[in-house]
Structure 1
Amino acid sequence: METLLVFRSSFSNKFWKITVAGTSFAVNYGKIGTAGSVNVKDFPTPEACKKEAHRLIQSKLKKGYQPAVSADPLIKESAMTEDYFWQMLDRCKEKGDDSEEQMEWLISQLAKGPVIDILSFDSILKKHFSQSYTSDLWAAAYIAMGGCSDDCFDYFRAWLLYLGKDVYYKAIEDPETLLPYFGLLQEQEEFPQLEEFLLVACEAFEEKTGRDMEDYWKLYDQLMQDDDPDPDIDFDWNEDDEEGLSRMFPQLWAVYGENPL
């Protein structure tokens, strides 16, 4: 259930929107034409949630708010597009000598924008993160590192995504295109993992609002509603079948089969 109200007068021009889902609702409010602020509240039952939402709606109507009827956009949509997402990652690599400094810059930049942009950044990240959950990429990570658990593969995919749009898409098509990047890591005595990249949006939210991780995920689930699990994949390789892995990715195996990162 979603209700959008507006209040217009000589001194005020603002919106108020409530979105009810299950046992919680999100309230988005602010000046018309902006992204506004967002709060989430939880309740013990769906009935209690709906009752409080109805009370708030009636209270706003009594104060002079009216149901929105204009076809014009009242709430500014997120400026976080796909293109801007990839551009931020490209810029981020120029903002520090190592990944720690770069992640700090990225968190700071996200925290300067509205909360909806932080959520949208995370939504785009999660979409591509899910798309990289493939058997081929897992096999490549296994060969390069001499093993790869579930968590390790998560952090590997975060590292891959952070490399940028072109590298990411090429690697999904052919994981052996990552050989030069593995080589750079080997020279630096590092590993293809970037766990902290998966948390930048949450940390930006905490920096901006002072609210914690639990509040962030409640808000994300309420507004984005796209936190789907990784897709099911059919493994076409076996970790004990070295001959099969070497046939699958001969270039990777030649370099890292016997001497993993």
Structure 2
Amino acid sequence: MDENRCWEIIEAARDEAGPAWDDLDGRLAAALVRQLTALAPEQVARFGDYFRALQLRVHREDLFIAAFLIHHGCGDDSLGDFSAGLVGLGRDWYTRALKDPDCLAEHPAVRGVAAGRVDFSVLLTERFRYAPLRALQALTGEEYDGYYDSTEPVYLSDPPPSVTPLPCRLAGLAALFPQQQVYLRQLYPQLTA
């Protein structure tokens, strides 16, 4: 298992889940569990290492702002679910969002949220986030308090992109979610002033 194989599995799950935005979390999670239960437990554990490393790259202030705007607020748990949601969009959107969080204003799901056609929690994918754990449990019959950790270091191929400097103004997302932008400025003026 390496990063490229991890992305292949994620992309296969994304393809299997289909293009609809309704219940994206449930469909992605079920598809990922199906993909992973075809592997050996050690491979699933290693996949989990890479999956978590990809999610951790999303834990940045500029992407927090994007999550806040799209999802009408964002806390620690929501940021974790949003990080899984970005991974679940596939490698292309994930990479684009890391380079420029404001590009999410162009994503069809986000535009659907802004137009009221898609549920605002579409990218909060908690079930998808924990799908590797569920796959491991299905394969081994054991309960884990957290992911089984293979203890091998994870090296992602691309260096982390530079973070948008604060204060951060995501003009595209702010235009889609003007009320949320006002609320964000009230709560976190140091991030957006």
1:139 and 1:252 map into 2 onto residues whose CA distance is 9
**Alpha-carbon offset, residue 258 of structure 1:** 1.6
- Where do 4+ consecutive residues of structure 1 move more than 4 Å? none
CA deviation string 1:182-219 (max 9, x = no partner) = 113442224221011221111111111111123x64x4
**Alpha-carbon offset, residue 131 of structure 1:** 1.3
Residue number in structure 1 paired with 2:58: 132
1:144 aligns with 2:74: no
1:183 aligns with 2:114: no
1:251 and 1:112 map into 2 onto residues whose CA distance is 41
Structure-2 change in CA distance of 1:130 and 1:116 (3 Å): same
SS of structure 1 residue aligned to 2:27 = helix
1:200 aligns with 2:131: yes
Letter of the 1:205 counterpart: L
Equivalences for residues 58-69 of structure 1 within 5 A: none
CA deviation string 1:9-39 (max 9, x = no partner) = xxxxxxxxxxxxxxxxxxxxxxxxxxxxxxx
Identity %: 21
Match of residue 3, structure 2, among 73, 82, 85: 82
Letter of the 1:193 counterpart: L
Letter of the 2:65 counterpart: A
Higher helix residue share: 2
2:112 and 2:139 map into 1 onto residues whose CA distance is 35
Match of residue 115, structure 1, among 41, 64, 67: 41
Q: Could you say what the CA RMSD is over the residues aligned between the two structures, in angstroms? A: 2.5
Structure-2 change in CA distance of 1:131 and 1:101 (3 Å): closer
Letter of the 1:251 counterpart: G
1:88 and 1:160 map into 2 onto residues whose CA distance is 15
Match of residue 224, structure 1, among 132, 151, 167: 151
Higher strand residue share: 1
CA deviation string 1:20-79 (max 9, x = no partner) = xxxxxxxxxxxxxxxxxxxxxxxxxxxxxxxxxxxxxxxxxxxxxxxxxxxxxxxxxxxx
**Alpha-carbon offset, residue 109 of structure 1:** 2.2
**Alpha-carbon offset, residue 257 of structure 1:** 2.0
**Alpha-carbon offset, residue 115 of structure 1:** 1.1
SS of structure 2 residue aligned to 1:212 = coil
**Alpha-carbon offset, residue 225 of structure 1:** 5.4
1:251 and 1:188 map into 2 onto residues whose CA distance is 18
CA deviation string 1:92-135 (max 9, x = no partner) = 12324543133212212212211111011111111111111111
Normalising by structure 2, report the TM-score. Answer: 0.74
Letter of the 2:142 counterpart: R
Structure-2 change in CA distance of 1:146 and 1:104 (3 Å): closer
1:136 and 1:206 map into 2 onto residues whose CA distance is 34
Any gaps of 5 or more consecutive residues in structure 1? 1-79, 228-232, 238-244
Normalising by structure 1, report the TM-score. Answer: 0.56
| Number of equivalent positions | 163
